[in-house]
Structure formats: C-alpha cells, structure tokens
Chains A and B, each alone.
Chain A
Amino acid sequence: MSKIHRGVSLYSFQEELFLGRMTVEDCIAFGASIGAKGIEILPEQNMPEFPHLSDADVARWQDMLARHGAHFTCYDMFLDTKLRKDSLMSDDEQVESIVRDIKLASRLGIRNMRVLVFVRPDILARCVPFAEQYDVHLGVEVHAPWHLEHAWILRTIDEADRLNTRHLGILPDMGIFMKHYPPAFRARFERQGARPEVTQFIVDSHEDKIMAEYTIYEVAVKMGGNKAEVAMAESLRHAPYANPKRIGDYAPYFRHIQAKFYEMDEDCTDPSIAYDEVIPELVKCGWEGTLSSEYEGNRWIQDVHEVDSREQVRRQHVMFERLISQAEAKFGAKETV
C-alpha cells in the first residue's frame, strides 16, 4: 500500500458547482470512482450553512462521505482581515476566527487545514495550542509566487521549530513547480490579442528561466507589447519553478499537497507542472500524505470551450498512479519521513 494517497479538492469542480451542474455529492462520488477518496473542502464554498453548522449538518456530510467510501482530508480556511471597511481585524479577532475554523474542522473529523499564505506566522503561533488540542495541522499554503524557500515561508518553519510542534507547518501548492509555461495560458492570451511571435518570446523566456522583470521590460517597452502581451509577460511573476530536489528537506513540515494543475493532455501528462520530478522526490523521502487534485484550468478555457473538470481530474489521477508506481519501483517504500 502506497504511502501517497490520492484525493481531490472540491475546488477542482468550481465551474460545475458554480453553474449548478454538479452537486457536492456528485463531486465526492466521482472522486471515489477514480480512487481519489480523500476529499478536500472549502467550507465557505461547499457549505451554505457556514459558519453555523449544526450537528445534523455534520452528520449529513459524514453520511455522504460514507456512502461513497470517501473521507475528508483537508479544510481550506479563509481569514477576512478586511471584514470591516475602515479597520483591519485585531490580532485577537484573527486568532478567534482561526480557532473557530480549527474547532469546525475537528467536528468534521478533518486533521489538516490549508492556511492562506498571507496569514502572519505570529498569529499562527498563537493558534498552535488549539491546533494541538484539536489535533489539526495548520499548513501554510506555499502558493506561487512564494516557494518552499521563500523567506516568508521560512518564518513559519522557524515558528514551528521554535514551538517544537508538529501541528504547524506548510502545505505546498504544486503550482510552485511550473517547469513549462502552460499552453492554456498562452492560448487565452492569444485569443485576447497577443501576437504569436510575442507569446513565443515569453514562453521561450520562461523556458530559459529568465527572471520575469527582464521579459516584462522587453515585451512592454522594447517590443511595444499590447495589453494582452504585457499581461502575459506579467504572469511570469507568478510562474516559478522551485527546485523539486528540496522537497525532502521540507517533507517533515507537510502532510497534504494541493496538486494544482491547469490542463492535462489526452495522454495523461501535465504539460506544465513537473509532477514527473516531484513525485519521485516524495517517494524517495518516504513522505506520507495526500496528493489532492486542484484543477484551476476552467478560467483559462471557459471563453471558448466547455469545461470538463471530471475528465481533467481523471487524467491527472492516471498520471499519479503511473508516476507513484514507477517511483516506488525505483526507490522502494521508506518507513518514515
């Protein structure tokens, strides 16, 4: 039995959920049908009763999961520091909001929380006693353009070390491993008026890992880029390729992964995110946790294509099975991280 479990975030089905073409139960049933039995939820998306869930609401979710042989893996929290127009939430209010989420996660039987990356490490430190009491891991989302070794992320790692806790850490979003520029992004910018020779220049610059600011200046000033071209060049600021070889160093700090992707090809390969480098590193270091699909391609294609989130997620899981079994054949299974 593999230590890498497969799951899916309901975020993946946002197009169909938004349009009322799928219910949350449809999403769970589909995930289970392809072996993605770990379900990540966004209570503020998927639970209309939020934040006032009754015991009957909680039981209804548990029954729904049980019907499909599925289970919760992760709770995606939000923190509305700008709830009021005129003043930011106080530190006490921020802690109170996060503790509310920890308690709700615990009631739902969820042991991982995706913490938004902007939440301050010192606020999280104040939440650690509650995370320990309720046994919920607080994982700061390492989301592009942040990356594993960004100084802001290292502050959370430092806090976790200082507090000697296993309940505070990170939660990597695989968008940080963007090895190739997503073809879906390029196609959308071209439909918005970007010229193919300019988009090729931007793709080549990303392929060469040239720092974004050089490319933006080239496109905006030297090439006289139009609005779509400049916007595409600026997207490079959010397109990092972090070093997969560092995964092992940080593995003790995470138990869940948001497996971000923008598109899967028909042959079940990802043209952009370096899963073929990431998954071997996860296996090699003996990491245990869930790879939770996070499809975010809908917004790039919905202007011209019907969105089929199920097919996209299915293809990603075919890739996961292939890469996990190849890596396990190569490295074997290690006992502990």
Chain B
Amino acid sequence: MFDKYLIDGASVRNVGPADAPTGFAFEAKLGYYRGLVLSMIEELAVTLDGTELPREAVLFDEGLGPISLDAMETAYDRRWAFGTPATIIVNHPGGLPAGEHKLALRQKLRVSYLPFPAFNTDEKTVKAA
C-alpha cells in the first residue's frame, strides 16, 4: 500500500571510516498502515545492483540501537511505528562505490489476520552521500 515510499533515496550514506567504509545505511519506513512489534518483521532483504546481500549483514535501528534480524525475531518490546523512518544498516565492506546504484528493499511481515505473509518491495536508484 506504500511500496514506492519505503526507501528514502536521499538518506543513503556510507558508514565507517571515510577511506574504508564498512558498509552503508539508509532510512526506510514500514509498508503497513499501522506500527508493528519487531518480532513480526520476518525479513528485511536488501538487494544491491541485483544481488541480494546476506541476511546476517543487515541491522535495524528504530532508535533503540542496532539489532540483527535474528534478534528481531524475539524483540517483543520494540516497535516500528507507523510512518516513522528507521535506519537500516548493511555491513558491506567498501560501502557503496561512487555513482548510481539500484537499491531494493523487501519487507516480509507476519500479519496475524492474513493467511499468508505480507510482502512490500521498493527499489530506488541511489547514490551514497
């Protein structure tokens, strides 16, 4: 319902030392009309230039500190609020090289009233600031 708004394309930046970035980060919103406890976010799959990056490389931070996707599965006391950006940090040695890249995000949500998981996807052409 909000797919095209998930990735904030202008927020993409490298992280770590400027001369040797350890990865990149960006702001994203949850593609759902309400907030959700983190345990029900099963997947935040990041794809860079057509290659899906390893699940272990992705960290999430809604403001309470970075957490791995595996740790999110039992984060019953943390919530991704509606319409509120959270930071997605991706460990990717070297970061994003200069120039344009295709960055995609797929969210897989466990929505209790649906018989199947909900998927949201967005892809944007981005540059690291």
Contacts and interface: CB of A to CB of B under 8 A. Distances in A.
Interface in B74-117: 76, 79, 81-84, 110-113
A19 B83 CA distance: 7
Contact of A84 (B39, B79, B84): B39
Interface in A288-307: 298-299, 302-303
B119 interface: no
A82 interface: yes
Contacts of A117: 113
Interface string A75-104: 000111111110000000000000000000
B123 interface: no
Contacts of A78: 34, 112-113
Contacts, number: 63
Given A18-B29, A42-B34, A85 B110 contact: yes
Given A18-B2, A18-B82, A45-B82, A81 B33 contact: no
B49 interface: no
Contact of B1 (A45, A48, A50, A298): A298
Contacts of B110: 82, 85
Interface string B52-81: 000000000000000000000100100101
Given A79-B112, A84-B76, 6 more contacts: A42-B34, A45-B82, A80-B40, A82-B40, A85-B39, A85-B110
Interface of B: 1-2, 4-5, 29, 33-35, 37, 39-40, 42, 73, 76, 79, 81-84, 110-113
Interface of A: 11, 14, 17-20, 42, 44-46, 48, 50, 78-85, 116-118, 298-299, 302-303
